[in-house]
Amino acid sequence: MRFGVVQKYRSFLPVNPGTPLITLGEGDTPLVQSTRIAREIGCDQLYFKLEGCNPTGSFKDRGMVMAVAKAIEEGSKAIICASTGNTSASAAAYAAHCGLAAAVVVPSGYVALGKLTQALMHGAQVLAIEGNFDQALQMVRTIVGRHPITLVNSLNPYRLEGQKTAAFEVVDALGAAPDYLFIPVGNAGNITAYWRGFVEYRRTGKSDSLPRMMGFEAEGAAAIVRGKPVAQPTTIATAIRIGNPASWRGAEQAREESGGLIDAIADDAIIEAYHLLANGEGLFVEPASAAGVAGLLKLARRGQDFSGKTVVCVLTGSGLKDPDTAMKTVPGMVAVPADVASIEKELGY
């Protein structure tokens, strides 16, 4: 039996007797030790937090379960979000679980196939606009101001509350906060939530240190790094294709208070890390999830020394979400005649 994050961490969350303790089994995700990348960068305490193991395949479930529980508590019957894909998959699943209506607004042509499939399978109304995520979010904000429907984007404060539980799990698993946390940055909600989680855990005596927060935006969508919104964000990593992050200030605060950094990472470096995780570590993540690892490799290759440090990279979502990008970047299959000799020849025997 899995109790989920709302019940497990209820004393740290906005849970009261009227809050339904719903769950799809989110949280309690593995923290796996690196083999190949650890060796490559000379860091023997490198770990990956596998957020793709959440029920809909991304960390969004941690925040969505809290947001939906509060929506139900407040008597809401319907939820809505703008999404690059994973938020809509998660919203649709929790709405289905709880008997709410769900509507999602997505940028047409820029949502990975698996995520779109999930939203549709879970029965959400999926509206694709000829515009980007930032425009979709603006429209959804207007709609919730006019109609009785609950916004479940990370502007909903309960989302970040739920998401901070991932930081609790990292500390619970390691017995202490790591020295560094590497994480992709899109709308910047997750880096904000992790920082909040680490700070709360230290305040309550569950840990006695804090990590440096190392956030990475895609180069074509690096609003925080450049210090101004990007009107036409571009990147292969669709989950972080966001030009005006809603939690911009929270990300800057995490960077400043932790002595960390927010940097930009090129698409080819993201794809390199994506492949290294898959074929060197056995971890198939979606492209956006590789941005933090790409950032770690970049800093290590520039000479930053991670030996003796404990480093955690957050792998935000499953690679199965986006088979199209994967198939476009691998060598592909070899067609062989249906006989043993042909297969042996191909295998080099």
Ligand X SMILES: *Cc1c(COP(=O)(O)O)cnc(C)c1O
Footprint on this chain of ligand X (rule: CB under 6 A): 58, 60, 86, 184-190, 239-240, 286, 288-289, 316-317
Indicate the residue among 29 and 289 with the shorter CB distance to ligand X.
Answer: 289
CA distance 243 to 217: 10
Q: Which residue's CB atom is positioned nearest to ligand X? A: 317
Query: For residue 324, with 0-12 CB atoms within 10 Å meaning exposed, 13-18 middle and 19 or more buried, which class applies?
Result: exposed
Indicate the residue among 34 and 58 with the shorter CB distance to ligand X.
Answer: 58
Indicate the residue among 184 and 233 with the shorter CB distance to ligand X.
Answer: 184
User: Backbone phi, then psi, for 263, in 5-degree steps?
Assistant: -130, 170
Q: How far is the CB of 99 from ligand X (least distance, A)?
A: 25
Selection from 191, 189, 195 nearest residue 171 by Cα? 195
Indicate the residue among 19 and 326 with the shorter CB distance to ligand X.
Answer: 326
Q: How far is the CB of 303 from ligand X (least distance, A)?
A: 27
CB 314 within 8 A of CB 293: no
Indicate the residue among 184 and 260 with the shorter CB distance to ligand X.
Answer: 184
Q: How far is the CB of 200 from ligand X (least distance, A)?
A: 18
- Other CB atoms within 10 Å distance of the CB of residue 116: 19
Indicate the residue among 177 and 188 with the shorter CB distance to ligand X.
Answer: 188
CB 136 within 8 A of CB 153: no
Q: How far is the CB of 318 from ligand X (least distance, A)?
A: 8
**Tokens 């916004």 belong to residue:** 151
Angle between helices 113-121 and 86-98 (to 10 degrees): 20
Q: How far is the CB of 52 from ligand X (least distance, A)?
A: 8
CB 269 within 8 A of CB 277: no
Q: How far is the CB of 139 from ligand X (least distance, A)?
A: 18
